[in-house]
Amino acid sequence: MKLPRVILASASPRRAELLQQLGFKFEVIPGKAEEIAPAYLSPHEVCEVNAHRKARVVARANPDALVIGADTIVCLGKKLFGKPRNQADARRTLEALAGKTHHVITGVCLMELAARREKLFAVNTMVAFRPLTAAEIRDYIKTVHTLDKAGAYAIQERGEMIVEKITGSYSNVVGLPMERLGEELRGWPNG
């Protein structure tokens, strides 16, 4: 399979590590686009729109490349949790998620601008948190850098401290739904 030049439009080292597992050569050029979350969009749509915005910024400068944009959010009911603003916000987020099952949704946009090709999809994984005490939340925040992670946690970094069970794609919770992304890349036109 021969893909065009591939660019990951994300600064996330976790996403880069996941994409490496597929064995594709790629570059990293972060897609600096403001993330939006209008109330009239569903959580899936919010992720897809933001993944599209990130991919488009990079694709405009690299129209012959296949650009991969991604956006991950955590949602509990209708409440969306992005990256916490500070430690107090991280604590409040973990308190809200403790003892409950929430959704982790990652939107992915594949964009090859010059060829006028685009694919947009979102993958949902359910994550059940253990009930957590204030001390357990404090310990987790001390152990894991929570400020650059949607929902103030990283399943791959001491997830056993807080996560009871996941239903769906583990890699989706890390930041890229590898099963679906691999399938889409393998079937990419001219691939």
Catalytic residues, which ones? 71
pLDDT-derived band at 58 (thresholds 50, 70, 90) equals: very high
Q: What is the pTM of this model?
A: 0.92
**Mean pLDDT (whole number) for 122-149:** 94
Please check whether residue 117 lies inside any domain of the structure: yes
**Mean pLDDT (whole number) for 152-175:** 93
Paired residues of 69 in beta bridges: 109
Please check whether residue 1 lies inside any domain of the structure: no
pLDDT-derived band at 24 (thresholds 50, 70, 90) equals: confident
**Number of structural domains found in the chain:** 1
User: What is the rounded CA–CA span in Å between residue 169 and residue 179?
Assistant: 8
Range of the structural domain that residue 167 is part of: 6-186
pLDDT-derived band at 191 (thresholds 50, 70, 90) equals: very low
User: What is the rounded CA–CA span in Å between residue 141 and residue 91?
Assistant: 7
Please check whether residue 49 lies inside any domain of the structure: yes
What is the average pLDDT value for the chain, to the nearest integer? 93
User: What is the rounded CA–CA span in Å between residue 179 and residue 66?
Assistant: 18
Please check whether residue 112 lies inside any domain of the structure: yes
CATH code for the domain of 87: 3.90.950.10
pLDDT of 190 higher than 80? no
Supply the angle between the helices 87-97 and 134-143 in degrees, to the nearest 10.
130
Please check whether residue 191 lies inside any domain of the structure: no
102-126 per-position pLDDT tens digit = 999 999 999 999 999 999 999 999 9
User: What is the rounded CA–CA span in Å between residue 56 and residue 116?
Assistant: 12
Residue whose C-alpha is closest to residue 68's, from 2, 24, 34:
24
